[in-house]
Amino acid sequence: MNDQLLGQYYLDDARWTFSYYKKLAEGAMAQISDEDFFRTLDSESNSIAVNMKHMAGNMISRWTDFLTTDGEKPERNRDIEFVILPGTTRNEMVAYWETGWKRAFDAVEPLQPDDLMRTVRIRGQDHTVVQAINRQLAHYAYHVGQIVYLAKHFRSSEWQSLSVPKNKSAEFNAYLEEKINSTLREDRLDKVIDFAAKNRDL
């Protein structure tokens, strides 16, 4: 595989992974009430709303003029991302979340294999584009995991699994094998959710 093909494969995979984590978080958020959306486990923990606000703030800073300016914008107030102001609504947080993701996708979509070894800066440190993308993927996965954990905790026994249910791995593998010809990588999460729903109904 030549460098161009490898670079394109990497970019396609990165775009898919960003989309996957966005969808995973939204699958969790869709299951919770407005009250739980803003709820914290204790005084030191973050709510789902705070995780979303922080992620969106990070995205807007990191991906605005991604190739030409430092990813830590001088106008960013990171500390306020961890504060939910009185009167803030769930719809406002979701709109901000969407703004952040749009900024990320608008920056990543046009990238070409030749861009991957270009140098960008984050907090004054040089990164290749590959390193910057990987940094963001790891960061978003970390916070999406927190969102899913909180939603699952709040829903308890009513949680609708977004991953393979406990003690069902072998059955899921068989299920996926049946669907393999009609299953694209892009809809794997949908297949997992469908499998989990079928097992709930048994």
Domain containing 141 — which CATH number? 1.20.120.450
Say if residue 196 is in the same domain as residue 143: no
Q: Total domain count for the chain?
A: 2
Say if residue 127 is in the same domain as residue 177: no
Please list, in sequence order, all residues whose beta carbon lies within 8 angstroms of the beta carbon of residue 116, skipping any fewer than 6 positions away. Answer: 7, 10, 11, 128, 129, 130
Helices (H), the chain: 3-29, 34-37, 48-63, 90-108, 129-155, 169-179, 188-200
Say if residue 126 is in the same domain as residue 198: no
Say if residue 151 is in the same domain as residue 169: no
Say if residue 131 is in the same domain as residue 169: no
What per-residue confidence (pLDDT) applies to 40?
96
Say if residue 101 is in the same domain as residue 53: yes
Cβ atoms of 99 and 60 within 8 Å: the answer is yes
Band of the pLDDT at 202, cuts 50, 70, 90? very low
Say if residue 85 is in the same domain as residue 141: yes
Say if residue 153 is in the same domain as residue 195: no
Cβ atoms of 175 and 52 within 8 Å: the answer is no
Q: What is the pLDDT of residues 93-132, one digit of tens each?
A: 999 999 999 999 999 999 999 999 999 999 999 999 999 9
Say if residue 85 is in the same domain as residue 20: yes
Tell me the residue range of the domain where 104 lies.
Answer: 3-157
Say if residue 24 is in the same domain as residue 120: yes
Say if residue 58 is in the same domain as residue 91: yes
> Taking residues 165-185, what's their average pLDDT?
65
Say if residue 143 is in the same domain as residue 170: no
Q: What is the pLDDT of residues 21-56, one digit of tens each?
A: 999 999 999 999 999 999 999 999 999 999 999 999
Q: In Å, what is the CA distance from 101 to each residue of 11, 23, 37, 95?
A: 16, 11, 19, 10
Q: What is the pTM of this model?
A: 0.85
Residue with the two structure tokens 């270009």: 118
Q: What is the pLDDT of residues 55-91, one digit of tens each?
A: 999 999 999 999 999 999 999 999 999 999 999 999 9
Containing H/E element for 72? none
Band of the pLDDT at 1, cuts 50, 70, 90? low
